[in-house]
Structure 1
Amino acid sequence: MDVKLKFKLYRMSVWCGVVVVIANTLAFSVFGHLSPPVSPSDNAQQVADFLTEHRTGILWAVVTMGVFAPFFYPFAVITSLQMRRIEGGWGLLSMIQLTTAVVAPTGWVYPLAVLATAAYRPHRSPELMQLLSDQFWLTYVGVAVIFVINVAVIGLSALIDRRPEPVFPRWFGWLNLVLAAAFFPGVFVYVATDGPFAWDGLFTVLIPSIAFVVWKIAMIVVLLRAVKSEEREVLGQQTAVPAAA
Structure 2
Amino acid sequence: MKKDLHIRLQRVSAWCGVILFVGFFAAFAVGHLTPPMSPTESPDDIVAFLEDHRTGILTCVALMVLLVPFEYPYVVVTSMQLRRVEGGWGLLSMIQLTTGVVAPLGFFFPLAILAAAAWRPEVHSADVLTAMTDTFWLMFVGNACIFVLQVWSIGYAAFIDHTREKPLFPRWYGWLSMALGVLLIPGAFVFLNKSGPLAWNGLLAYLLPSIAYVFWKIATPYVLLKAITNEEKELAGKPENEPVTV
**TM-score class, shorter:** over 0.9
TM-score by length of 1: 0.95
Query: Aligned residue for 1:78?
Result: 77
Letter in 2 for 1:8: R
Letter in 2 for 1:130: T
Report SS of the residue matched to 1:145. Answer: helix
In the aligned structure 2, how far is the partner of 1:113 from the partner of 1:9?
31
In the aligned structure 1, how far is the partner of 2:33 from the partner of 2:218?
22
Query: Aligned residue for 1:96?
Result: 95
Report SS of the residue matched to 1:102. Answer: helix
Query: Aligned residue for 1:228?
Result: 229
Query: Aligned residue for 1:14?
Result: 14
In the aligned structure 1, how far is the partner of 2:206 from the partner of 2:175?
22
Q: Alignment RMSD, CA only?
A: 1.4
Query: Aligned residue for 2:107?
Result: 108
In the aligned structure 2, how far is the partner of 1:158 from the partner of 1:49?
48
In the aligned structure 2, how far is the partner of 1:237 from the partner of 1:164?
18
In the aligned structure 2, how far is the partner of 1:164 from the partner of 1:102?
29
In the aligned structure 2, how far is the partner of 1:213 from the partner of 1:200?
16
In the aligned structure 2, how far is the partner of 1:204 from the partner of 1:177?
16
Letter in 2 for 1:28: F
Query: Aligned residue for 2:142?
Result: 142
Deviations 1:170-214 (A, max 9, x none): 222122111211111111100001001000101111111111111
Letter in 2 for 1:114: I
Query: Aligned residue for 2:192?
Result: 191
Shift of 1:2: 2.1
In the aligned structure 2, how far is the partner of 1:170 from the partner of 1:122?
49
Higher relative contact order at CA 8 Å, sep ≥6: structure 1 or structure 2?
2
Report SS of the residue matched to 2:238. Answer: helix
In the aligned structure 2, how far is the partner of 1:193 from the partner of 1:170?
37
Shift of 1:92: 0.6
Shift of 1:238: 2.3
Deviations 1:27-56 (A, max 9, x none): 112x21011111100111110110011011
Report SS of the residue matched to 2:51. Answer: helix
Letter in 2 for 1:201: G
Deviations 1:121-151 (A, max 9, x none): 1212111000000000000001110121110
Report SS of the residue matched to 1:33. Answer: coil
In the aligned structure 2, how far is the partner of 1:33 from the partner of 1:164?
46
- Count of residues in correspondence between the two structures: 240
Query: Is 1:152 aligned to residue 152 of structure 2?
Result: yes
TM-score by length of 2: 0.94
Query: Aligned residue for 2:45?
Result: 46
1:174-213 equivalent positions in 2, closer than 5 A? 174-213=175-214
Query: Aligned residue for 1:215?
Result: 216
Query: Aligned residue for 1:62?
Result: 61
Shift of 1:164: 2.0
Letter in 1 for 2:235: V
Letter in 2 for 1:82: Q
Report SS of the residue matched to 2:239. Answer: helix
Identical positions, percent: 51
Letter in 2 for 1:96: I
